[in-house]
Amino acid sequence: MQKRKLGKSGLEVSAIGFGAMGMSQGYGPAGTREESIAVLRAAVERGVTFFDSAEVYGAGHNEELVGEALAPFKGRVVIATKFGFKDPVAGPGAGLDSSPGRIRRVVETSLKRLRVDAIDLLYQHRVDPAVPIEDVAGAVKDLIKEGKVKNFGLSEASAKTIRRANAVQPVTAVQSEYSLWWREPETEILPVLEELGIGFVPFSPLGKGFLTGKIDEKTTFDATDFRNIVPRFTPENRKANQAVVDVLARIAERKKATPAQIALSWLLAQKPWIVPIPGTRKLERLEENCGAASVELTPSDLREIENAAAKIEVRGARYGAAQEKMIDR
């Protein structure tokens, strides 16, 4: 797999990373520990070197899983994790806490769970309005000086917050949702990242599974699947949004690829410092995602996608009201 550098930081990772959240929460019942570890290790064998976790995913389960799976590959992989919530067991509903003391406690716990001496990339999971971002960046800067953290990142942060944080401690990467059906980062985030030399890591690059073409208005989700409460995933909105998948499918047929591969390839074509992190629990989906790095979209392909997408109005909010309140704008 090709490699990419996250901005001017010099942190080099595989062009396509791996978002591990779904192995612990969000998308219905998780697989067995053995199955998850097998998929994570298979990702390394296929050239993936960039893995994304968080303290809050599965209340620590995810970090432990990633730590166990990737322990044999120490020095060969880059592991990112996140802080920012008050109580990982209660989850995001308990509220935010990015106080310097909390950050330090999270890091000590994450180091043990991940079985590493230093965290390669530490993100603030959501911006905490109660704590100045300068204090957050300063706390991470201290941890970097101590050798416990290597790089600082932000998630779902506004352009203004990114600038303020970067002035205290250079930001290596910003993580936000970005795909053909959620393009808000193009307005303010991508320009400021380009200006400051910061990498961009799109999560949900396959639209929470919708852009794979495997979901339609008749699809039913497990009772524990969070897509049941996402406005964009109501049956009527899924039916309306099928138009986006139809565009991908048309290009995919011509390229002898899949809609998911075209969606990921489109992201890679936007900027050389963009590294999407699709997640999966299945080996065949892993192989499909990795294969996207080899799909080349020509300028003509990209224009065709752009022209078609411009005529489509994507229906439904990407989050419920409670989650939307946590987005820094």
Tally of CA atoms within 13 A in the half-sphere of 322 that contains its CB = 9
Calpha distance 65→157 (Å, rounded):
27
Q: Which amino acid does the sequence have at 9?
A: S
Where in the chain does DSSP place strands (E)? 3-5, 12-14, 18-19, 50-52, 78-83, 121-124, 152-155, 171-177, 199-203
Burial label, 284 (beta-carbon count in 10 A; 0-12, 13-18, 19+): exposed
SS3 155: strand
DSSP-assigned beta bridge partners for residue 19: 52
Q: Which residue has the tokens 């989050």?
A: 319
Query: Are the beta carbons of 211 and 259 closer than 8 angstroms?
Result: yes
Catalytic residues: 57
What residues contact residue 234 under an 8 Å CB cut-off, 6+ apart? 316
- Of 108, 110, 126, the residue nearest 53 (C-alpha): 110
Q: Tokens in use for 68? A: 């166990």
Calpha distance 275→193 (Å, rounded):
13
SS3 190: helix
- Of 71, 3, 45, the residue nearest 286 (C-alpha): 45
Calpha distance 222→228 (Å, rounded):
8
Calpha distance 296→261 (Å, rounded):
10
Question: Angle, nearest 10°, between helix axes 61-70 and 33-45?
Answer: 50
Calpha distance 40→97 (Å, rounded):
30
